[in-house]
Homo-oligomer: A and B are copies of this chain.
Amino acid sequence: MNQYLVMSVVPQNFLNHISLDCVVFGFHDNQLKVLLLQTKETREWALPGGFVQNNESIEEAATRVLKERTGVNNVFLQQFHVFSKPGRNESNPIIRDMNKTYSPEVLEWFNNRFISVGFYALVDFSKVTPMPDANSATCEWESLKEIKSLIIDHMEILNKALETLRLQMSYQPIGYNLLPQKFTMPELQKLYETILGRELDRRNFQRKILSFKILKKLDERKTGGAYKSPYLYKFDLERYQKALNEGLSGKW
């Protein structure tokens, strides 16, 4: 079992008071999934997270944590909000669990006030191998709509990530990291509907998404279907990247 003992490191190698939490989204079976860890003793659910080493930026720390939990690199990973309510990490069940294993010095460090930088990641579900950290029993994909409660303020972090992703869809393209390389228009629409949590009109969706000019229609239909199989599309990566940087809705 490939378990990374991130939490067994000596506190002196990490910045005090600063942590990060990752909301990792994947798309599978027409459902939006989130990667979660389960605590060993109380069997509660938590977002994957970690701390910042003395010699790394917070982005490098998040990339490292994500690689440790998923096995993948080069994913779309973006900081979206800092969570800093005083007392937010009091009564963290992970620290209760840790009482049996760690020295008083390490426990004291974990019991400090931590401000957490939230990151969200969009990953290719099929490429991820979920791996628990040293303080967790399991690491699993959960369907977003099945997630009822998480430890400390992780539910707030998840909701804020989702809110950011939904707002971002109104001005930036999404899908490149969530869909296979070739996809049909109904598959792309389903992704949008899943994230937004509601149904969209087929013709309006198609007109709007085509108007952004980020798609290439292929001279190829989805195989294995009926006579009228839908055409396949792929993203025009140059234009996709441009829209990521400049926004979709065009020039003023």
Chain A residues with a Cβ under 8 A of chain B? 15-18, 52, 54-59, 79, 81-82, 84-86, 113, 115, 117, 167, 169-171, 192, 196, 200, 204-205, 208, 246-250, 252
Contact = CB atoms under 8 A, between A and B. Distances in A.
A170 B15 contact: no
Oligomer copy total: 2
A192 B57 contact: no
Q: What are the nearest 9 A-B pairs in CB distance?
A: A170-B247, A171-B171, A58-B84, A249-B249, A57-B84, A15-B17, A170-B249, A170-B171, A200-B252
A158 B95 CA distance: 39
Contacts of A247: 167, 170-171
Contacts of A167: 171, 246-247
Given A18-B18, A171-B247, A247-B170, A252 B204 contact: yes
Given A54-B113, A115-B15, A170-B249, A82 B82 contact: yes
A10 B120 CA distance: 36
Contacts of A170: 171, 247-250, 252
A170 B15 CA distance: 36
Q: Which of A79, A113, A169, A252 has the most CB of B within 10 A?
A: A252
Contacts of A196: 252
Nearest to A171: B171
5 contacts: A18-B18, A18-B115, A58-B82, A167-B246, A200-B252
A82 B79 contact: yes
Given A15-B17, A54-B86, A196-B252, 15 more contacts: A16-B16, A17-B17, A17-B18, A18-B18, A18-B115, A55-B86, A82-B82, A167-B247, A170-B171, A170-B247, A170-B250, A170-B252, A200-B252, A208-B252, A249-B249
Nearest to A58: B84
A234 to B, nearest CB: 21
Contacts of A17: 15-18
Contact of A117 (B15, B82, B249): B82
A16 B167 CA distance: 33
A205 to B, nearest CB: 6
A167 B168 CA distance: 10
A41 B246 CA distance: 40
